[in-house]
């Protein structure tokens, strides 16, 4: 399950479904990034652009690459503090003062279940291997996952 969840987190990292987020500052504060600090005044409108933030090379190794296991193990758990698809870190909690997606846990859980469901029913082949004809796949009912389909047992008639 950890790997399936990591798959979902990595998808949300590379393609955040809500790319732009806006907020108006409730008070003066300093906004710091890796090497700069910005003075924000109360009432100013801020915009976050997630596709850019989620590819920060100072946070994510090889940020353009889809790394299935990126959010696994200790380091992966730490990275969840930087996964911002829901208007706040994945480790944050939505509340009346923290306007994060109220369904962020159910969203990732449901997505994980859908991914697991698909993976159980899809056949993968290495590139370069002979391809199984589509007609054969239809006939053998791939979703009957018990059966391994090869050219030999594929009866096309």
* Site residues (vs ligand HEM, CB under 6 A): 17-18, 21, 85-87, 94, 99, 101-103, 107
Q: Do residues 46 and 24 lie in contact, with contact meaning Cβ atoms separated by under 8 Å?
A: yes
Nearer to ligand HEM, 67 or 109 (CB): 109
Nearer to ligand HEM, 6 or 21 (CB): 21
Spell out the alpha helix ranges (H) of 15-133: 50-53, 73-79, 104-121
Q: How far is the CB of 57 from ligand HEM (least distance, A)?
A: 23
Q: How far is the CB of 22 from ligand HEM (least distance, A)?
A: 7
Measuring CA to CA, how many Å separate 153 from each of 131, 137, 139, 150?
14, 11, 11, 6
Nearer to ligand HEM, 45 or 129 (CB): 45
Q: Do residues 54 and 84 lie in contact, with contact meaning Cβ atoms separated by under 8 Å?
A: yes
Q: How far is the CB of 71 from ligand HEM (least distance, A)?
A: 16
Q: How far is the CB of 85 from ligand HEM (least distance, A)?
A: 5
């Amino acid at each position: 399950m950890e790997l399936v969840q990591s798959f979902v987190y990595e998808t949300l990292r590379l393609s955040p479904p809500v790319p732009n987020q806006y907020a108006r500052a409730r008070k003066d504060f300093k906004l710091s990034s890796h090497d700069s600090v910005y003075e924000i005044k109360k009432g100013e409108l801020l915009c976050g652009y997630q596709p850019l933030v989620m590819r920060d090379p100072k946070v994510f190794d090889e940020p353009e690459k889809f790394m299935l296991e990126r959010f696994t193990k200790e380091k992966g758990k730490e990275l969840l503090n930087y996964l911002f698809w829901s208007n706040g870190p994945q480790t944050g909690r939505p509340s009346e003062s923290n306007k994060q997606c109220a369904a962020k846990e159910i969203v990732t859980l449901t997505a994980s279940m859908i991914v697991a469901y698909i993976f159980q029913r899809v056949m993968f082949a290495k590139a370069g291997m002979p391809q199984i004809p589509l007609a054969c796949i239809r006939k053998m009912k791939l979703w009957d996952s018990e059966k391994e389909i090869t050219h030999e047992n594929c009866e096309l008639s």
